[in-house]
Amino acid sequence: MTTNVTQGLAAELIAEFRDLTGEPTIPSGATVTLFYPSGFSTVVQTLTMVQADQQPYRFVATWYSAVSDLGLVPWSISVSSVSSGPQIQGTIRVIRP
């Protein structure tokens, strides 16, 4: 799924983690990695996700789109306790204000 974000605004990425039985679980850590266009290159930025206050099995990270040119920003969320690659992936489309 692609989500539009107006250039200059923030995007909040929220992940809720569950175990194999579907029960909420709290991983030891989570990160979101974004690949955004800037000039003639792609910048890779990794943000540490933090636990939400009221729901500790939810993790949140905020990305500020002002650093990106217009275009697509693929992202992936990984959990430090799982080594099989990203667990969640998506795309942000940075659009004109």
Cβ-contact 73, 34 below 8 angstroms: yes
pLDDT of residue 58: 93
Backbone angles phi, psi at 9, to 5 degrees: -100, 170
Count of alpha carbons within 13 Å of 88, Cβ hemisphere only?
13
What does the pLDDT look like over 35-63, one tens digit per residue?
999 999 999 999 999 999 888 889 999 99
More confident call, 42 vs 28: 42
Distance CA 76, CA 85 (A): 9
Give me the domains of the chain, ranges plus CATH numbers. Answer: 2-95 (2.60.40.1930)
Distance CA 16, CA 52 (A): 10
pLDDT exceeds 90 at position 67: yes
pLDDT of residue 85: 66
Pairing of strands 41-48, 30-38: antiparallel
pLDDT of residue 81: 73
